[in-house]
């Protein structure tokens, strides 16, 4: 085997390996991120899975639970109810959420309590035992009841003692209280109060911790299937289940849904990108194999004349392709796993679960399957084409032996079917998968035509310098397939720049500069008459002038009716695939005079508050979920008063801003007089200031609760910027695949190029002329591909950003720079591919051919 040939086999392997590496890397990385997210979500819910039931679980249900429980899972029962708490000393009463827990609470995170009312020197909750008759309460309750640690607290008819305040309670994270502050008590003590007796509105919680955070979702789904539960169940007063069999299942992941969903989609998208990178590599395989076969046509024809059946020769070629595919798969899998490990190392600190990270064997195996199928399919095309070959025609020196068009067509149909199947498998969606392949075929075809016209035009450009002109003329070299190179490079640069645009938007949306004005503290339960005082206090004491406040009105969603379907039956209307369970549930309403900074209208018009009509503005995804459209009538019950509101606008909301935003906004005039509380978002503060502000607010406004969200904001932000790094890696993979294909296509004409270079040297060309010619040829090719790729990136980026609810901004200068960069990269790649050709001694012109 000659050096040139072994080089080409390596190139074949690399073409395949790049796509596989991208795929394995994406597979393992999304797995790692998913696990990290799930892990982070655990303490928010206090479990991986929460089973909420209105009745104690039946023996049958318990059996089902233990049957479906994976090994290593732990469970813990809790009892929740809403009741009045009375402070015997002050005679103040307040609504509280009581949670009765068993030994072992909480499953995740740490429970820390303090005797000190300011929360200093917290420690473990020692008094949470059956005989202690003690409770721990949220600090806000002390203020509301004018009570202190050590005071008696009456629940029902039982008198208990306040043993301390809750400083850290993992279960509180998922839902900051709605009905009242939490009272944590030992389960046996709660039972002894009689409040949880038969007929009481109690919720029975079974908290489940699985060994691996990623198991939670699967177990939850199995349970839902077993009990025929919807994914989301409405919970009503006191968190009781208000739909179906009175049982509901929540997972930790659901409590971080918006973030999780973004990463899921990102994973789908990156998987598809790596599939495309693999298909690009496949084009490289096809051109390399075509060159390989073309050079061996003579030998193949001679073998045929000597009696070897063509079928056997083709079989040999297929086996070789298979071996190369496997080698590419192995190499790619190894590199992908390596890169993924590198990314995980870079992400250390961002990914708390990174330590229990291991190679994803599933992703590796899938990568091998992809490698094998793509290599064999793409190698098949040039091999099939020679099946119509007449050996005599070849030996006569016929330059273009007849090729089998029918077989090639059959190949095309089969290949498209196979790739569609792969894309469907990768995207978990028939529509997305087939759309992807359809748009690849369509876009590739268009690029082929436009690129072909562009190449023909470039080849005819008369530049004054001979080297440059010769380079451009070479774009029309017979046997050279610059079309294929233009299509692959433009696709690769399309992926790269789309990823760049997307990453830009993401970064812009959630990255550093934006985070600078994220809120760090939230305050809830501000009474309407406290608003001005609250604002004034912050302005005076802390010079905080930009406190954003929003009203909150609790209502019950009674129904949705479409004027088109006439009937106004509650909880009927157009059901669609909407979430029936969200009917009749508690809904937080709000109002604002004008659209907030984190919102933009995607349909309809912003409400006009001057008339009598009540208008509603819905968040886009929420509207989709409940199946609401412009013009529909929403009915809400606000403490017995019914309000009908017409949907007049749909909004996209940037939830990640962490500022107060709402699914449903109604006309201000409809809500202004309803019972309400206000929430406030305090601007960014340094950590020391945050604690100080929290302490002062607690002193001054004891009934107002504050939450520190700065850590969540920082976590999301830095995670996003690290994820951006991963996106860039994948973008580079696809560009590398494109470059490999370019090199492969360039090398398929190496023989002709050698001959030309030798001749030019004989005719007086210096090395620089030859280099210039190569640079012109591949630079022009790359420039054309780059421009086409950037032009195609605009609609794709638009589709992508709208899917992710990001505003589209087309960075024209970035796209131009990218097109230029693609041209330079191609020029360099072409030069590297052909530099050996330039070393041909001029004497070669007298030899061979």
Partner 1 sequence: MTRAVLEVEGLGKRYATQAGELDVLSGVSFRVDAGESVAVTGPSGSGKSTLLGLIAGLDSPSSGRILVEEQDLAGMSDSALATFRGRRMGFIFQSFRLLPTLSAEENVRVPLELSGVPDARQRARLWLDQVGLSGRGSHLPSRLSGGEQQRVALARALAPRPALIFADEPTGNLDSRTGKEMADLLFSLVVDQGATLILVTHEERLAARAGRIIVLRDGQLVSDSRSAAGVH
Q: With DSSP H G I counted as helix, E B as strand and the rest as coil, what are the percentages for the chain, rounded to 5?
A: 55, 15, 25
Q: Residue 165, SS3?
A: strand
The b/e string for 726-735 (b: 16+ C-beta within 10 A; e otherwise) is bbebbbebbb
CB of 305 to partner 1, least distance (A): 24
Spatial separation of the C-alpha atoms in residues 58 and 62, rounded to whole Å:
6
- Which residues sit opposite 587 in a β-bridge? 555
CB of 769 to partner 1, least distance (A): 7
CA 781 vs CA 25, 365, 455, 698, 744: distances in Å: 30, 36, 7, 67, 14
Contact 48, 360 (CB under 8 A): no
CB of 453 to partner 1, least distance (A): 18
CB of 771 to partner 1, least distance (A): 12
Helix extents (H) in 112-214:
139-145, 187-192
What does the DSSP assignment read for 40-78?
Answer: HHHHHHTSSEEEEESSPPPHHHHHHHHHHPPTT-EEEEE
Q: Which is nearer to partner 1, 266 or 757 (CB)?
A: 757
Residue 140: name the closest of 79, 105, 96, 106 by CA: 96
CB of 756 to partner 1, least distance (A): 6
Q: Which is nearer to partner 1, 354 or 834 (CB)?
A: 834
Instruction: Give Cα 741 to chain centroid, integer Å.
Output: 29
Q: Which is nearer to partner 1, 450 or 772 (CB)?
A: 772
Spatial separation of the C-alpha atoms in residues 542 and 564, rounded to whole Å:
54
Q: Which residues contact 502 (CB under 8 A, 6 or more apart)?
A: 727, 797, 800, 801, 804, 806
Q: Which is nearer to partner 1, 351 or 757 (CB)?
A: 757
CB of 761 to partner 1, least distance (A): 6
Q: Which is nearer to partner 1, 395 or 571 (CB)?
A: 395
**Which residue do the tokens 């590599």 mark?**
281
CB of 745 to partner 1, least distance (A): 15
Q: Which is nearer to partner 1, 449 or 463 (CB)?
A: 463
Q: Which is nearer to partner 1, 610 or 847 (CB)?
A: 847
Contact 95, 179 (CB under 8 A): yes
Spatial separation of the C-alpha atoms in residues 713 and 54, rounded to whole Å:
35
Q: Which is nearer to partner 1, 594 or 839 (CB)?
A: 839
Q: Is 586 exposed, middle or buried (0-12, 13-18, 19+ CB in 10 A)?
A: middle
DSSP code, position 237: G
Q: Which is nearer to partner 1, 1 or 763 (CB)?
A: 763
The b/e string for 645-680 (b: 16+ C-beta within 10 A; e otherwise) is bbbbbbbbbbbbbbbbbbbbbbbbbbbeebebbbbb
Q: What is the C-alpha end-to-end distance of the chain, expressed in Å?
A: 21
CB of 772 to partner 1, least distance (A): 12
Backbone φ, ψ for residue 844 (5° rounding)? -55, -20
Q: Which is nearer to partner 1, 646 or 769 (CB)?
A: 769
Q: Residue 183, SS3?
A: strand
CB of 300 to partner 1, least distance (A): 23
CB of 291 to partner 1, least distance (A): 16
Spatial separation of the C-alpha atoms in residues 814 and 501, rounded to whole Å:
9
Q: Which is nearer to partner 1, 696 or 751 (CB)?
A: 751
Asked if residue 354 has a cis previous peptide bond (ω within 30° of 0), the answer is no
CB of 763 to partner 1, least distance (A): 5
Contacts 24+ apart (CB under 8 A), 68-74: 68/219, 68/222, 68/223, 68/226, 69/208, 69/219, 70/210, 70/211, 70/215, 70/219, 71/211, 72/210, 72/211, 73/208, 73/209, 73/210, 73/211, 73/215, 73/219, 74/104, 74/107, 74/208, 74/209
CB of 788 to partner 1, least distance (A): 22
Spatial separation of the C-alpha atoms in residues 804 and 807, rounded to whole Å:
9
Q: Which is nearer to partner 1, 305 or 843 (CB)?
A: 843
Q: Which is nearer to partner 1, 31 or 454 (CB)?
A: 454
Spatial separation of the C-alpha atoms in residues 220 and 213, rounded to whole Å:
12
Parallel, antiparallel, or unpaired for β 74-87 and 93-101?
antiparallel
Tokens of 617: 């503005």
Spatial separation of the C-alpha atoms in residues 346 and 340, rounded to whole Å:
10
CB of 767 to partner 1, least distance (A): 7
Q: Which is nearer to partner 1, 462 or 610 (CB)?
A: 462
CB of 301 to partner 1, least distance (A): 20
DSSP code, position 211: S
CB of 347 to partner 1, least distance (A): 50
Q: Which is nearer to partner 1, 469 or 629 (CB)?
A: 469
Spatial separation of the C-alpha atoms in residues 141 and 156, rounded to whole Å:
17
CB of 391 to partner 1, least distance (A): 23
Q: Which is nearer to partner 1, 593 or 848 (CB)?
A: 848
Q: How many helices (H) and strands (E) does the chain have?
A: 23, 20
CB of 485 to partner 1, least distance (A): 16
CA angle 87, 91, 97 (to 5 degrees): 40
Backbone φ, ψ for residue 497 (5° rounding)? -75, -30
CB of 749 to partner 1, least distance (A): 10
Q: Which is nearer to partner 1, 771 or 799 (CB)?
A: 771
Contact 85, 216 (CB under 8 A): no
Residues that bind partner 1 (CB under 8 A): 459, 466, 469-470, 473-478, 752, 755-756, 759-767, 769, 841-843, 845-847, 849
Q: Which is nearer to partner 1, 261 or 767 (CB)?
A: 767
- Which residues sit opposite 101 in a β-bridge? 78, 186
């Amino acid at each position: 085997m000659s050096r040139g040939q072994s080089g080409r086999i390596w190139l074949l392997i690399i073409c395949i390996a790049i796509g596989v590496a991208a795929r394995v890397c994406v597979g393992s990385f999304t797995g790692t991120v998913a696990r990290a997210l799930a892990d982070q979500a655990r303490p928010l819910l206090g479990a991986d899975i929460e089973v909420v039931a209105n009745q104690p679980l039946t023996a049958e249900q318990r059996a089902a639970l233990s049957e479906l429980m994976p090994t290593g899972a732990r469970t813990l029962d809790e009892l929740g109810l809403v009741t009045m708490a009375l402070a015997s000393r002050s005679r103040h009463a307040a609504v509280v959420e009581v949670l009765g827990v068993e030994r072992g609470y909480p499953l995740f995170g740490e429970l820390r309590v303090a005797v000190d009312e300011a929360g200093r020197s917290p420690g473990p909750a020692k008094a949470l035992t059956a005989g202690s008759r003690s409770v721990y309460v949220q600090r806000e309750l002390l203020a509301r009841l004018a009570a202190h640690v050590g005071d008696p607290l009456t629940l029902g008819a039982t008198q208990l003692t306040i043993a301390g305040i809750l400083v850290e309670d993992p279960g509180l994270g998922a839902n900051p209280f709605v009905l009242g502050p939490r009272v944590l008590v030992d389960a046996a003590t709660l039972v002894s109060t009689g409040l949880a007796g038969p007929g009481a509105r109690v919720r029975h919680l079974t908290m489940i911790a699985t060994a691996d955070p990623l198991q939670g979702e699967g177990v939850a789904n199995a349970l839902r299937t077993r009990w025929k539960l919807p994914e989301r169940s409405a919970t009503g007063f006191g968190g009781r289940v208000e739909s179906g069999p009175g049982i509901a299942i929540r997972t930790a992941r659901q409590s971080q849904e918006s973030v999780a969903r973004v990463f899921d989609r990102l994973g789908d998208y990156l998987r598809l990108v790596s599939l495309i990178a693999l298909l690009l590599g496949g084009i490289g395989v096809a051109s390399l194999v075509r060159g390989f076969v073309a050079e061996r046509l003579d030998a193949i024809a001679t073998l045929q004349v000597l009696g070897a059946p063509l079928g056997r020769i083709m079989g040999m070629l297929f086996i070789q392709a298979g071996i190369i595919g496997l080698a590419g798969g192995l190499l790619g899998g190894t590199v992908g796993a390596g890169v993924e490990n590198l990314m995980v190392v870079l992400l250390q600190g961002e990914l708390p679960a990174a330590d229990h990270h291991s190679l994803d064997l599933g992703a590796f195996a899938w990568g091998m399957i992809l490698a094998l199928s793509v290599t064999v399919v793409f190698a098949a095309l040039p091999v099939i084409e020679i099946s119509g070959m007449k050996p005599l025609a070849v030996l006569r020196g016929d330059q273009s032996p007849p090729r089998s068009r029918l077989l090639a067509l059959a190949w095309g149909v089969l290949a498209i079917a196979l790739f569609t199947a792969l894309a469907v498998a990768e995207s978990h969606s028939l529509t997305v998968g087939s759309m992807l392949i359809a748009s690849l075929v369509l876009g590739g075809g268009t690029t082929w035509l436009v690129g072909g016209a562009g190449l023909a035009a470039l080849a005819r450009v008369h530049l004054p310098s001979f080297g440059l002109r010769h380079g451009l003329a070479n774009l029309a070299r017979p046997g050279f397939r610059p079309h294929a190179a233009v299509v692959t490079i433009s696709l690769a640069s399309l992926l790269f720049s789309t990823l760049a645009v997307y990453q830009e938007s993401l970064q812009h949306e959630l990255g550093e500069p934006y985070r600078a004005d994220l809120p760090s503290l939230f305050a809830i339960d501000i009474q309407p008459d406290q608003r001005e005082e609250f604002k004034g206090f912050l302005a005076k004491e802390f010079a905080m002038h930009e406190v954003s406040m929003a009203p909150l009105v609790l209502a019950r969603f009674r129904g949705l009716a479409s004027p088109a379907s006439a009937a106004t039956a509650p909880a009927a209307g157009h059901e669609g695939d909407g979430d029936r369970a969200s009917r009749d549930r508690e809904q937080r309403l709000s109002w604002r005079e004008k659209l907030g900074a984190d919102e933009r209208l995607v349909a309809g018009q912003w409400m006009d508050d001057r008339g009598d009509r009540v208008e509603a503005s819905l968040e886009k995804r929420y509207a989709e979920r409940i199946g609401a459209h412009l013009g529909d009538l929403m009915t809400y019950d606000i403490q017995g008063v019914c309000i009908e509101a017409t949907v007049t606008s749909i909004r996209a909301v940037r939830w990640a801003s962490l500022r107060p935003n709402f699914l449903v906004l109604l006309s201000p005039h409809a809500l202004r007089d309803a019972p309400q509380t206000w929430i406030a978002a305090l601007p960014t503060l340094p950590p020391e200031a945050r604690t100080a502000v929290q302490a002062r607010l607690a002193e001054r406004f004891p009934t107002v609760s504050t939450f520190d969200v700065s850590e969540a904001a920082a976590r999301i932000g830095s995670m996003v910027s690290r994820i951006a790094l991963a996106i860039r890696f994948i973008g580079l993979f696809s560009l590398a695949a494109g470059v490999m294909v370019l090199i492969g296509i360039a090398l398929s004409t190496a023989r002709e190029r050698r001959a030309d270079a030798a001749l030019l040297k004989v005719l007086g060309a210096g090395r620089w002329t030859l280099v210039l010619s190569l640079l012109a040829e591949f630079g022009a090719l790359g420039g054309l591909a780059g421009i086409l790729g950037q032009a195609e990136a605009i609609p794709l980026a638009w589709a992508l950003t709208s899917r992710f609810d990001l505003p589209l901004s087309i960075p024209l200068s970035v796209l131009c720079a990218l097109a230029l960069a693609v041209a330079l990269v191609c020029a360099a790649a072409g030069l590297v591919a052909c530099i050996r050709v330039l070393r041909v001694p001029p004497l070669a012109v007298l030899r061979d051919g």
